[in-house]
Structure 1
Amino acid sequence: MKVAVTPHFVVMLVRLPLSLVLLSVLGKIQATELFDRNLAYSSPFINAPHLSHDTRSLQARHVQFVKRQQQLSDTISSDGFTDTHYPTFYGGDFSNSAWIYSGGINFTHSVASGDPFHDSVLLWTRATPLGTPPDQSIPVCVSFKIFDNADLSGDPLDVGDAFTTYDVDWTLKVEAKNLKPDSHYWFQFSDCAKPQIVSPIGMTRTIANPDTPAEEVNGGKPFTLVVFSCARYQDGWFNAYGVAAHNTSADLFLHLGDYIYENLGDGGPIGRAVTGKELATIADYRERLNQYRTDPSLVFAHQKAPWITVCFSPSGACFTDRKLAAVRAYHEWMPIRQVDPDDKLRVWRNFKIGKLLDLTMLDTRQYDRDITDLYYNTVIEDIADETSRSLMGSEQEAWFYETLSESKARGALWRVVGQQIVFTMLEEDGILDVDAWDGYRANRNRVLDHLYKNKISNTIILSGDSHANWVSDLGHPNQSITYDPITGDGAIGVEFAGTAVSSTSTFGAGISPADADRISARYVIENTDLQWSEGSYRGFFTLTLDPHQARATYWAMRNVSNANLDAFASASFVVEAEHIAANKLARPVAGGNVLAGVLKIHRR
C-alpha cells in the first residue's frame, strides 16, 4: 500500500526498523498523537490527569465511525469521506480522508500565543467546521508552522498537526518548541485537508535565558510590558487592547484579572448586549469567552504578542462545579499552561527574563485568601489589622518572599510584581476599600518589611481591579518619619495601578474628567504615598524597562461607546535604577505635568 507522509513524520519513519514502523503506524498509542498534541484536551491541572479528555476514547470513537462508514458505503453516501486507508495512520494526504473533516474550516477567533519560556511558547486558535458540523466522531485536523521571519519563508522552526473536536469547543492549543531564547517569531495554522485555508499570521516571542546580562536582553533594546485589567463587555468596546497593539512596542501583554465577567448587563444601546445568562455551566463560559473574543481590538492584540494572564476568579469561595467549568473553559480558550488543583488552583508563578527582571505573577484574589469583604459583612474593617490574616495564603506568601530574595541574589536588576488589587493605602474621608490590601494591613506590612529588612531594591508592583489609575511610592502607609513624600526618600519601591479596559469607574459610571479630578484631589491629599490619581478614563499602561530606568506611560481612551483607536498618553512616570536614585518615582513626579488626573502638590 502506498502511503504519503508529511515531512515532520519522515524522520521518524526512516530511522525505525520496518517492524517498529508498522507498530507505530498501527498502534493505539501512536493513534492518539494528534489528539494529545492539542493541549486543550489535557487537564487544566498538572496533578489531575483524570480531568483530561480521554484521547484513547476519542480515537476509538472515531475509528468505529470509519468502520461503520466502510460497512455502509454500499448503501449510504458518506459525502466526501471515501478514502478507505487504515484510519489510525496519520498520513500526509488529508484531502479525501475517511477520518478527518474535509469540508473546510473557519478560524473564527484568529490566533493567539502565551506563557512564553526561553525555548517554547504556546500557540492557540479555534477551527470550526464550515457548513453542517460533522458527526461527533470526526475530528478537524489543523497544522501549525512557526518561523523566524514575517514572510514565513525558509524552513519552519517547528511544525506539526493536531486534532480538535466539539469536545473542546473546536479550540486548539499547541506548544511550539526548540526555539531560540529572546527571539521573535511568526506563526500560522492551516487546514490539514485543505492547506490553502489558513489562519491570520500571529506574532510571538520567547523570553531571554535567565543568565542573559541585563544590557543584552531584547537585543539591548528596552523591554515593554503592556498591562490590562477589567474588561466588561457590556460597559464598552475593548479599544484599549487595540491602541496597545497598534501604538506600543509591546513585548508582552499582561492581564491582571477580570478578563471576562460572569454577570449580565445592558450593553444593547452601544451594540454590546451580552448573550447567554449568568454563567454557571461550561457551555455558559464557552459562550461568554466566544463573545468576548470577537471584539476586534482584542482579536488583534492576541495576534500581536504573547500574553501572560492571571486566571480569572469565578464566583464562589469553594471548589464547586461552577469553578471547575470556568477553569476548564478558560484552559480551552486561553494560551495558558496548566495549574495545580492539589495546590488550590495555583496560578502564581515567576518568569526570569534574563538578568533584566523577574516578572512575578501573584494570585491575590482567590488562593487561600482569608475572609474578604462581601460588601455587607462590615466585620472585615474590625479585623483588617489582625496579624494572622493573609491575602495570599501562607504558602504563596512564603514563596513570594523567597522569590524576591532569590531574584536579588541572582542579580536581576528589576523585580516586577503583577497582582490584582491596589497595594497602596487609599483612604477617602476615613473610608477604606477592605476588599483590597487595605483589608489585609498586617500582610501588607510584612511585604514591606521583607523589602526593607533585606534591602531589596528596584521593586515595582503592578495592580488592577480598582477601575481607576493610581501611582505611588511604596512605604509604610501614612508614615512620614522615614519616608519623605516630597523627595520620595525612604521609599522601598513603586506601585503602578491601572484603570479598566472598559469596566465603569468606581468614581461613578460615566463620570467626567472634571468631576473625577475633584475626587482624586482628596485622595492625593489624604494619602501620603499616593502621587497621582485619575478616575475618568478607561485605558491601560505600559512599563518599559532597561538597565537604567523604568518608565510607565498611561493611556486614556477618549470613547469606549464604539470601536475606535482614539486615545492619548495621559501621564508618564520614571523610576531610576538603583545605582542612580532607586526605589521611588523620579522628581518632579511625571515631569510635573499630566494631561489627566491630579498630581500631589509638593510643598514644604
Structure 2
Amino acid sequence: MYLLVLILPLINYFASCKANVNLLDRNLAYSSPFAGHSQACSAIDTNELAKKHTAHSRRQTEDATGFLDEHYPTFYGGDFSNSPTIWSGGLNFTHSGMLLLGDPFNTSVLLWTRAVPVSPPGTTELPDQSVPACLSFNISTSPDLQGNIADSGEAFTSYDVDWTLKVEATNLTPDTKYFFQFSDCTNSSYVSPIGTTRTLPSSDTPANEVNGGSPLTLAVFSCSQYQAGWFNAYGYAAHNTSAEIFLHLGDYIYESLGNGASIGRQTAGRELATVHDYRQRLNQYRTDEGLLAAHQSGPWITVADQSWKAGTADSNDSAIGCEFSPSGACFTDRKLAAVRAYHEWLPIRQVTVDDKLRIWRNFEIGKLLDLTMLDTRQYDRDITDLYYNTVINTLAAFPNRSLMGFEQEKWFFNTLSESQNRGAIWRVVGQQIVFTQLNESGDAWDGYRANRERVLNYLYENNINNTIVLSGDSHANWVSDLAHPNDSTTYNPLTGQGAIGVEFAGTAVTSGSSFGTNIAPAAADVKSLEYVAANLDLQWSEGSYRGFFTLTIDPDTLNATYYAMRNITFANLNGFSSAQFVVNSGENRLSRPVAGGSTLAGALKFNGTQGH
C-alpha cells in the first residue's frame, strides 16, 4: 500500500463528502447519459459513489468470454469512501496520449483523455476499484500553456468509467483557438501531449466575421470498419486539409467481428454485447494513427450508429431476437451498454435530462450557419430492413411512418424556421442516411417516403433557403439537388430550377462499397451511370473509393470537395480530390455546370456537356 499515499494538498477533498462528489461530478463520464434523471440506471450516482463501498463486487470490465450479461452493482459505479487516498504511482495517457475535443459552444468545449495507472518499476501493484486517479487540466490561448490560463481544474477518474475523463472547459472566448493539457494531480511530471481546440463564434457574430473572416471548413465522415482497412481518410483530413471541425454521421465503430488478419486488422473480442465489449472495441479503434491524428486536430461533433428504436440487424427484445446476440443479450441491454461506453469514450454532451437517448441538437455558428445534427437511427425510428425482416417496401409509403419520431420532427422544423428567422445564411443538416430517392434500399429515406415528403413540403411552403443535407451510411458517394423525388413537372435536372436545397452524401472511411466490396473504379462507374440516369435529382455518383468530403463555407458560397483514398490496406496518406461542387447562396441548387463539368471519379448526369 505504500503507493496509495495520502496527498496532503487534497486531504480536504476527502474530508468532505460534498467536495468528493464535486470532483467526481467534474468528470462528465460519470454523469452522462441521463444525468439527473429519476431513472438514470445507466449513469453513475456520484452521491452513492461517495457513500457506499462496492469495491469487491464483480464488474463488467472483465473479459466477457462466455459472459451471461448479468447486471453487476459496479456497472453503475464504484466508491472511494473507504479510501481517503488517490493513486500516486504514475499515469499512462493511453493511445499515444490521445486527446479528444467535442461539441464546442461559444464559451465552452469538452476535453477528453484517458489515463490508466501504471505499475512503478519493480512492482505490479495497481489500485483496486475503490482507488481513483486525479487529473488536472489547463486550457490557454498560449501554445506552451505558460500564460493566459482561461480555465483549469481537477477531476477524478476510475475503473468505473474505464479511466476516461471528460470535462467541460468554460469561461472561454468565442471563436478562439485554444491549447490544453492534462496532468497527474499527484505528480506533474506525468502529462499528456498539448492538444488544440477552438470555440464557436457567438450566435450573433456577423457572417463575414465568423472564423476571423476566413471560410470555415468542416470534414464529414461515416462508417469506419476496423477489419476492412486502415482509417487513412481521418489522417488525410487532419494532415492535408484545412478542416477545423470534424463531423461523424454514424458507424464510428462496428459491433460485428471480422477477419482482417491479412492486413493486420483483426478485431479483438467478440460481437459486442456488454460494456466490456464496447470499451474493448473503442480501445482498439483508437490505436489507428489516422483516427488519432484527426481527434487531436479539432473538435468533433457526432451522431449515433445503426439501429431502429427496438432493434438492430441481429438483436431485439423478443425471445428469438435475444438469441441473435452471442451472449444472449437482448437489444435494450446491448443498447444501454453501448450508450454507456459511447458517452465514456466520446466527447459528446448530454443534451437534456428527460428525453430518452436524445443526441439531436443544434449549433448556432454565428450568422453564417446553423449546424443541425439529427438522429435518424436510434431515437424513435419505425422499423427498417433488418436482414431477417425485409417487408419495408410494403410499408414505405404509410403516412404515419417516421424516421425521426414526431417529437424530433417537430423540433427539426422549428429549428429550420428559427435559423432562417435569426438571419443565419446556411442551414447544414447532419444525419445518417441518404435523403434523395435512389430506389436502392428500404434502409434509407426511401423507406420513409411520407416523412421525406413532409420535410420537403416544409422547406418549400416556408421558403427555407440554403438548406444543405449531409448523409452517410450508404458506403458510396452521391450528390443531388433536393426536390420532390423524380417530379419533372416541378424540377429541371438540367438547370436545377425548382430545387429547394442540396444533398452531399459521403462514402465510408473503410466499410465495403454498396456497389460490391473492392469493386474497381471502372466497374463502379458503370453502376453510377445507371443510378444518375434512373434518378432525376441525382447529379453525381461514385462507388469505388473509400474516403470523406469537406465543406468550406463563407457567406456567398458553399464548396464541397470529395476525397478518395487510393489504398486502405496499410497506413498512408495517398489520396486525391475526386470531385468538387459549388452551391451559391440563395440558389438552392448545385451551381451549373455541376462539378465544373468534370470529375476524376464517378459519373455526372450530363458529363459536363450541359447545364451552364
TM range (shorter): 0.7 to 0.9
Say whether residues 1:100 and 2:99 are aligned partners. Answer: no
**Alpha-carbon distance in structure 2 between the residues aligned to 1:201 and 1:594:** 39
**Alpha-carbon distance in structure 2 between the residues aligned to 1:104 and 1:271:** 31
Contact 2:55 2:129 in 1 (8 A): no
Say whether residues 1:418 and 2:430 are aligned partners. Answer: yes
How far did 1:419 drift? 0.4
DSSP-derived class of the 2:281 partner: helix
Contact 1:491 1:584 in 2 (8 A): yes
| Aligned residue runs from structure 1 range 484-503, under 5 A | 484-503=492-511
Structure-2 change in CA distance of 1:439 and 1:57 (3 Å): closer
Say whether residues 1:54 and 2:45 are aligned partners. Answer: yes
Pick the aligned partner of 2:204 from 211, 232, 239: 211
**Alpha-carbon distance in structure 1 between the residues aligned to 2:547 and 2:391:** 34
Per-residue CA distance 1:140-196 (angstroms, 9 max, x = gap): 111111111222221311111111111111111101000011111111111112211
DSSP-derived class of the 1:216 partner: helix
**Alpha-carbon distance in structure 1 between the residues aligned to 2:300 and 2:32:** 20
**Alpha-carbon distance in structure 1 between the residues aligned to 2:139 and 2:54:** 31
Structure-2 change in CA distance of 1:63 and 1:516 (3 Å): closer
Per-residue CA distance 1:360-391 (angstroms, 9 max, x = gap): 11111122112212235343212211211111
Per-residue CA distance 1:397-429 (angstroms, 9 max, x = gap): 1111111111111111000000000001113xx
The residue aligned with 2:373 is 361
Pick the aligned partner of 2:223 from 230, 235, 252: 230
How far did 1:31 drift? 2.4
Say whether residues 1:145 and 2:150 are aligned partners. Answer: no
* Rg larger for: 1
Give the unaligned 5+ runs of structure 1. Answer: 7-21, 66-86, 89-96
How far did 1:64 drift? 11
**Alpha-carbon distance in structure 2 between the residues aligned to 1:442 and 1:98:** 59
Write the letter of the residue equivalent to 1:99. T
Pick the aligned partner of 2:163 from 157, 170, 174: 170
**Alpha-carbon distance in structure 1 between the residues aligned to 2:100 and 2:375:** 23
**Alpha-carbon distance in structure 2 between the residues aligned to 1:30 and 1:574:** 54
Write the letter of the residue equivalent to 2:550. T
Give the unaligned 5+ runs of structure 2. Answer: 1-6, 57-79, 318-330
Per-residue CA distance 1:105-156 (angstroms, 9 max, x = gap): 1110311010111111110000011123222222111111111122222131
The residue aligned with 2:518 is 510
The residue aligned with 1:220 is 213
Say whether residues 1:397 and 2:409 are aligned partners. Answer: yes
Per-residue CA distance 1:314-361 (angstroms, 9 max, x = gap): 634566111111100111111011255853311111111111001111
The residue aligned with 1:188 is 181
DSSP-derived class of the 2:451 partner: helix
The residue aligned with 2:581 is 573
**Alpha-carbon distance in structure 2 between the residues aligned to 1:508 and 1:403:** 38
The residue aligned with 1:70 is none
The residue aligned with 1:113 is 101
**Alpha-carbon distance in structure 1 between the residues aligned to 2:14 and 2:378:** 46
**Alpha-carbon distance in structure 2 between the residues aligned to 1:119 and 1:308:** 16
Write the letter of the residue equivalent to 1:29. K
**Alpha-carbon distance in structure 1 between the residues aligned to 2:89 and 2:487:** 68
Say whether residues 1:593 and 2:598 are aligned partners. Answer: yes
Contact 2:33 2:339 in 1 (8 A): yes
**Alpha-carbon distance in structure 1 between the residues aligned to 2:411 and 2:300:** 23
**Alpha-carbon distance in structure 1 between the residues aligned to 2:527 and 2:406:** 36
Per-residue CA distance 1:217-245 (angstroms, 9 max, x = gap): 11111011110000000000001000001
Write the letter of the residue equivalent to 1:389. R
Contact 1:61 1:137 in 2 (8 A): no
**Alpha-carbon distance in structure 1 between the residues aligned to 2:532 and 2:99:** 42
Aligned residues: 553
How far did 1:201 drift? 1.4
**Alpha-carbon distance in structure 1 between the residues aligned to 2:610 and 2:43:** 61
The residue aligned with 1:41 is 30
Pick the aligned partner of 1:523 from 526, 531, 534: 531
The residue aligned with 1:93 is none
Structure-2 change in CA distance of 1:192 and 1:24 (3 Å): closer
DSSP-derived class of the 1:253 partner: strand
| Aligned residue runs from structure 1 range 473-492, under 5 A | 473-492=481-500
Pick the aligned partner of 2:450 from 419, 432, 442: 442
DSSP-derived class of the 2:89 partner: coil
Say whether residues 1:30 and 2:19 are aligned partners. Answer: yes
The residue aligned with 2:127 is 134
Structure-2 change in CA distance of 1:122 and 1:340 (3 Å): same
Per-residue CA distance 1:465-503 (angstroms, 9 max, x = gap): 000000001101111112111111111000000000000
Say whether residues 1:257 and 2:243 are aligned partners. Answer: no
Contact 1:62 1:138 in 2 (8 A): no
Write the letter of the residue equivalent to 1:101. W
594-603 or 269-278, which deviates more:
594-603
| Aligned residue runs from structure 1 range 2-41, under 5 A | 5=9, 26-41=15-30
**Alpha-carbon distance in structure 1 between the residues aligned to 2:552 and 2:8:** 50
Say whether residues 1:198 and 2:191 are aligned partners. Answer: yes
Structure-2 change in CA distance of 1:523 and 1:195 (3 Å): same
Contact 1:317 1:366 in 2 (8 A): no
**Alpha-carbon distance in structure 2 between the residues aligned to 1:313 and 1:600:** 30
Give me the CA root mean square deviation. 2.3
Write the letter of the residue equivalent to 1:537. Y
DSSP-derived class of the 2:427 partner: strand
DSSP-derived class of the 2:513 partner: coil
483-492 or 23-32, which deviates more:
23-32
How far did 1:445 drift? 1.1
**Alpha-carbon distance in structure 1 between the residues aligned to 2:287 and 2:494:** 46
Structure-2 change in CA distance of 1:343 and 1:63 (3 Å): closer
Write the letter of the residue equivalent to 1:199. S
**Alpha-carbon distance in structure 2 between the residues aligned to 1:350 and 1:539:** 26
Contact 1:369 1:391 in 2 (8 A): yes
How far did 1:32 drift? 2.5
Structure-2 change in CA distance of 1:64 and 1:127 (3 Å): closer
| Aligned residue runs from structure 1 range 289-438, under 5 A | 289-313=282-306, 315=312, 316=315, 320-339=332-351, 342-427=354-439, 432-438=440-446
DSSP-derived class of the 1:343 partner: coil
DSSP-derived class of the 2:112 partner: strand
Write the letter of the residue equivalent to 2:603. V
Contact 2:257 2:270 in 1 (8 A): yes
349-358 or 33-42, which deviates more:
33-42
% same residue: 65
Contact 1:201 1:303 in 2 (8 A): no
The residue aligned with 2:275 is 282
**Alpha-carbon distance in structure 2 between the residues aligned to 1:355 and 1:383:** 40
How far did 1:103 drift? 1.3
**Alpha-carbon distance in structure 1 between the residues aligned to 2:610 and 2:133:** 67
**Alpha-carbon distance in structure 1 between the residues aligned to 2:51 and 2:400:** 53
**Alpha-carbon distance in structure 2 between the residues aligned to 1:256 and 1:24:** 41
Per-residue CA distance 1:529-554 (angstroms, 9 max, x = gap): 11110000000000111000000000
**Alpha-carbon distance in structure 2 between the residues aligned to 1:239 and 1:411:** 38
**Alpha-carbon distance in structure 2 between the residues aligned to 1:250 and 1:441:** 34
Pick the aligned partner of 1:247 from 213, 236, 240: 240
DSSP-derived class of the 1:197 partner: strand
Write the letter of the residue equivalent to 1:38. N
